[in-house]
Amino acid sequence: MMARIAETGRLGDGFRVWDDRAADEVTQIATPHGNVTAYSYGSGDRVLFCLNGGPGLPCDYLRDSHVPLADLGFRVVSYDQLGTGASDAPTDPSLWDIARYADEVETVLDALGLTSVHFLGHSWGGWCGIEYALRHRGRLRSMTLANTCADMPHLLQQIARHRNALGAETVKMMQRYEALGWLDHPAYEAAITLLDHRHIRRMDHRPLPVQRSKDGFNFAIFNTMQGPNEYHYTGNLKDWNRLAALKHFDWPCLVIQGMHDVLSPACGMRMHTALPNSRIEIFARSSHSPFYEEPRAYRAALTAFLNDVDRVVE
């Protein structure tokens, strides 16, 4: 486990894990269902477009952890997806659909005039990014699929393995309370807290950008698309599977996983094997958030990949 990150976002030696500085540009973008808010840091043609996880979280946690790359020559761009953060928050549940969100990404990139991007999708942002690439592929210079998967039925098998590690009696308790709808029972909540510590973020303290995203969580979106928590999928994504389609992704791809990730290394390996042009990095001390858990190693792997892609293209 890494040392506690100070409230400045720096490690003890000054390494910046995250940066909450004001955006150089904040843009309101009209979509067919409401306005969304985009943030841009830095300038130039090397655009890193970050699509955060959730679904239903503001982008703070992913955006702020990648803003320091603006000092390395990248323009870092992110946005609050519809229903989150500073974007509009309609209440129509039919809007919480992966195809609509993929089209929303294209609207954002088009409005910002971004014709060539290094696309980084984390968790749900990776699912949405894969769907985006199947619908709108022309802007992609590279893809980083971070702590994500392309095959939800396989992921559910991995989640069952995580739950089983809690022991048979705990699994029986969780299954009973899920059937009864007692998800706020203290015993069930304790099991979820333990799973989160093992598989979401193996840290004693929640970094401030993560807390800001959590404070802005739109649970209605998450529940409609995924379910009541990370370990019990009941939403409209539970059968989503695009693994076979990855063979058509002929741009460079980086697959990132944590050894203890809720989306396990096996999920990453399936993507890596299916992709025709990819490399994979598995961070030994991380779960679902290597940019906070192992920030030095994560940033080194990401920038090395992006630099290699740009040298090939140029």
Tokens of 232: 């019990």
Tell which residue, 113, 46, 49, 115, has the closest CA to residue 81.
Answer: 49
Q: What is the pLDDT along the chain (314 residues), one digit of tens a residue?
A: 445 677 789 987 889 999 999 999 999 999 999 999 999 999 999 999 999 999 999 999 999 999 999 999 999 999 999 999 999 999 999 999 999 999 999 999 999 999 999 999 999 999 999 999 999 989 999 999 999 999 999 999 999 999 999 999 999 999 999 999 999 999 999 999 999 999 999 998 889 999 999 999 999 999 999 999 999 999 999 999 999 999 999 999 999 999 999 999 999 999 999 999 999 999 999 999 999 999 999 999 999 999 999 984 44
pLDDT score of 283? 97
3-state secondary structure of 245: helix
In a domain, 29, yes or no: yes
In a domain, 85, yes or no: yes
Write the CATH number for 57: 3.40.50.1820
In a domain, 124, yes or no: yes
Tokens of 243: 């693994």
The answer to whether the bond into 68 is cis (omega within 30° of 0) is no
pLDDT score of 204? 86
In a domain, 211, yes or no: yes
In a domain, 267, yes or no: yes
In a domain, 213, yes or no: yes
Overall domain count for the chain: 1
In a domain, 19, yes or no: no
In a domain, 7, yes or no: no
- The range of the structural domain enclosing residue 129 comes to 25-157+207-313
